Structures are given as C-alpha cells and as structure tokens.
C-alpha cells in the first residue's frame, strides 16, 4: 500500500480575556496582541470583540509539533495577560458576560462586518477552534470535504463546551453554534460535485456583492480560499491542551482515512446535508451523552457506540500518523465528560457562575 502523504496541521484557538475580580470578559485594549506580536508576529490576532485573542500555530508536520505549538501559544498569552492583571480561559461561550457590554475592536474589517450584519455581528461573542489539514490537490480536497461532512457531528460532540449564555443554562451542551447560526453562510457546507461548481458558486457571490472575499463563507468545513487546506470550523473552544490536541488528531485521522480510501478507489457514502443536520443538532443539544443516527443502518445509536465505531474506522492510519496516544484521549473524554459536562457539574455543585469561570481559567494551562 502506498505511503500516506504528510497531512500538515494548523490550529487556531480563540481565548477569553477575563477580569480576575469580576470574572467577566474584559477588553485588553490590544495590549496583549501588541505585546505578543513582538515575537509571535502573525500568530496572534485581535478579534471583533476586544475581550478575545486569537492565536494560530505555524504549519505543523505531525501531532507532536501541533501539541508543542498549542501549548507554547497558551503559555505566552497567559504570561502577557498576567502583566495586564488579566487572566485567560477557553470555552465556546462565557458563562454570564453580556455582548451588549463588550467593546468592538477598532478595525475597518470589523466595522464593515457590523455595518452589514448589525446586531447579529455585535452579539457574536463566541469562541471556536479551527483546524486546517493540508491537501495540495483541490479536486481531492473537495471529495474529502464532501465525505467528511458525515463525521462533523461526531467530532463536534467531543468538543462541546458552551452550555451557558448570558447567565443562563441554555439546556444545550454547545450553544455557540446557535449564536453563530444568525450569520449568513454558516453551518454545514453545501455538496459540490466539482471544483468548478464550487468556484462558480464563490465567483457568483463576489460578483453579486454578497461577499467581498471568500473568507466570508463561514461554514463548519470549507476549502480554505488562500491555503492548500481544508478547514474544520465546527468545534467549540476546548478547555485544555489535551482536549484540543485529541480533537485535532481525530480530524487529521478522518482526513487521512478518507484519502487512503481514495487511493484504493473507494469512498465513504455521501449523505444529504439535511440528514447530517439532524446529528449536528443532537451533538449541540446532548454532546456525548445522547443518541445519534446511523444513516447506513437508519436507526438511532448511542453516541459512545458510534464513536467507538469511528475509532475502528480510522485505526489503520493512526500509527502512521503517530497519534495513537492523542486519539486514545477520546476514551477519557467519553468517560469523564466534555468541557460542557464539567462546567455544568461545577454549576450544579456551587450554583455560582463565577466558580464556573474559575474552573475554565484554572483548566486553561492544565498539562503544560
């Protein structure tokens, strides 16, 4: 069997900048970003809200490199925040912060988005993790994107980490996607039968002034318009480095497995997006604790059983990728719960959302 190519990785994480006294989100007035740019250059960016910092790894050639980079970036942001008497946390939403009270970053790009989208943009106070997997050939990338859609809810459920919104227990394990759904061109991607049809779609949107650049297609999974990657954008921001890297490893393994099937002239079934959307809702609502639909068997199956099946599906590529240890962490998440489960447990025990924030910030550098 032909050796697999190197599936390079890039990981973007969006962090919460928090006031240690009030535990609310707080503007860092670009001081953290400006301080980080001295030695992290373009690896750190401001986001639309001034209480958010986004970091991105360099191109990583394996999961070990990705772990090192993700850990390093978290450590750097913690140290820079500490100099401003601020702390840092990682979750898909803040437990009680109100978007109406958050300052917007003074940047023409964000002013343009707010001018167009108004309160849907101002209220988009959410935090995600994006994973890029390198694939040079766009035709193969599109095929894998079409097939990988089926696994998006399975991956998403593991990352669920946004049960609270504006001081309320939403009843969802991941409310972040519900907030983001107000934006246009979000959610699960369309099916495209060729790169040409995909490019025609993008060109039509630009020509008709729906978008001014293809990055404004904010799907859960997209072919990146400028890099030779497919970008998984569905995940909540994860509490710990271990959880982030575990999910990055799972995403890489799914892509590698689908690529291997392509080399063997086989492919995974492509299901209607309308059906996959049902599983995405279940992932957001119940996380790893619910049932999902096995569309091949056309029946409900306990999520944890489906995840074990997915692990068996990817098993023959994991050792070649060198990510066995990281993939095995999935069993721990299934046993001890996702970030959302842990947040809810703290709240159940304390009835205090500030204690939930303390938990989130306390987990941020765990394992570093």
Domain boundaries, the chain: 9-363
Q: What pLDDT was estimated at residue 36?
A: 84
Strands 52-56 and 44-46: antiparallel
Cβ(234)–Cβ(221) below 8 Å: yes
d(CA 29, CA 75): 20
Rounded to the nearest angstrom, the gap between the alpha carbon of residue 329 and the centroid of all alpha carbons in its chain is: 17
Q: By three-state DSSP, how is residue 255 classified?
A: helix
Q: By three-state DSSP, how is residue 318 classified?
A: helix
CA-to-CA dists, residue 263 to 4, 100, 105, 140, 153, angstroms: 9, 51, 46, 10, 25
d(CA 77, CA 170): 29
Q: What pLDDT was estimated at residue 367?
A: 83
Q: What pLDDT was estimated at residue 1?
A: 62
Count how many residues are written for the chain. Answer: 368
d(CA 295, CA 56): 35
Q: Which of 348, 299, 342 is nearest to 90 (CA)?
A: 342
Classify residue 251 as exposed, middle or buried by CB count within 10 Å of its CB (0-12, 13-18, 19+).
Answer: buried
Pull the structure tokens for residue 186.
């979000």
CATH of 9-363 given 3.40.190.10, 3.30.590.20, 3.40.50.300, 2.60.40.1180? 3.30.590.20
- R_g over Cα of the chain: 20
Pull the structure tokens for residue 162.
């946004």
Q: How far apart are the first and last CA of the chain?
A: 38
Beta bridge partners of 232: 131, 221
d(CA 258, CA 148): 8
Q: What pLDDT was estimated at residue 30?
A: 83
Q: By three-state DSSP, how is residue 149 classified?
A: helix
Mutual angle of helices 324-336 and 241-263, in 10-degree steps: 120
Low-confidence residues of the chain, pLDDT below 50? none
Q: What pLDDT was estimated at residue 225?
A: 87
Containing 13, the helix (H) or strand (E) segment is: strand 9-18
Pull the structure tokens for residue 208.
């008709």
List the beta strands (DSSP E) in 103-249.
128-134, 164-165, 168-169, 186-187, 218-219, 221-223, 229-236
Q: What pLDDT was estimated at residue 341?
A: 98
CA-to-CA dists, residue 351 to 167, 168, 341, 357, angstroms: 11, 11, 15, 12
């Amino acid at each position: 069997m032909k050796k697999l190519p190197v599936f390079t990785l890039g990981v973007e994480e969006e962090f919460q900048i928090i006031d240690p006294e009030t535990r609310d989100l707080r503007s860092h007035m670009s001081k953290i970003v400006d301080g980080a740019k001295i030695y992290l250059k373009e690896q750190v960016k401001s986001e639309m809200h001034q209480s958010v910092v986004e970091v991105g790894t360099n191109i990583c050639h394996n999961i070990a490199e990705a772990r090192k980079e993700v850990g390093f970036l978290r450590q750097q942001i913690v140290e820079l925040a500490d100099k401003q008497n601020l702390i840092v946390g990682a979750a898909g939403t803040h437990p009680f912060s109100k978007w109406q009270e958050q300052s917007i970053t003074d940047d023409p790009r964000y002013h343009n988005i707010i001018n167009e989208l108004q309160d849907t943009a101002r209220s988009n106070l959410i935090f995600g993790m994006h994973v890029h997997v390198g694939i040079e050939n766009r035709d193969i990338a599109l095929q894998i994107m079409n097939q990988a859609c089926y696994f998006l809810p399975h991956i998403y459920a593991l990352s669920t980490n946004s049960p609270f919104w504006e001081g309320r227990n939403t009843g969802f394990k991941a409310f972040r996607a519900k907030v983001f759904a107000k934006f246009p061109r979000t959610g699960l991607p369309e099916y495209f039968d060729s790169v040409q049809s995909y490019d025609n779609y993008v060109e039509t949107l630009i020509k008709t002034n729906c978008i001014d650049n293809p990055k404004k297609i904010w799907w859960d999974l997209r072919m990146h318009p400028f890099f030779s990657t497919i970008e998984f954008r569905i995940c909540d921001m994860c509490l710990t480095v271990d959880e982030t890297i575990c999910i990055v490893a799972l995403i890489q393994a799914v892509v590698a497995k689908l690529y291997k099937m392509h080399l063997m002239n086989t492919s995974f079934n492509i299901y209607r997006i309308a059906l996959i959307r049902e599983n995405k809702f279940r992932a957001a609502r119940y996380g790893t604790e619910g049932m999902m639909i096995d569309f091949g068997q056309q029946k409900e199956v306990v999520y944890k059983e489906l995840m074990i099946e997915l692990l068996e599906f990817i098993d023959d590529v994991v050792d070649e990728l060198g990510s066995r240890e990281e993939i095995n962490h999935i069993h721990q998440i299934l046993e001890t719960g996702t970030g959302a489960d842990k947040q809810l447990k703290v709240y159940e025990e304390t009835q205090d959302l500030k204690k939930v924030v303390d938990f989130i910030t306390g987990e941020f550098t765990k394992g570093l």
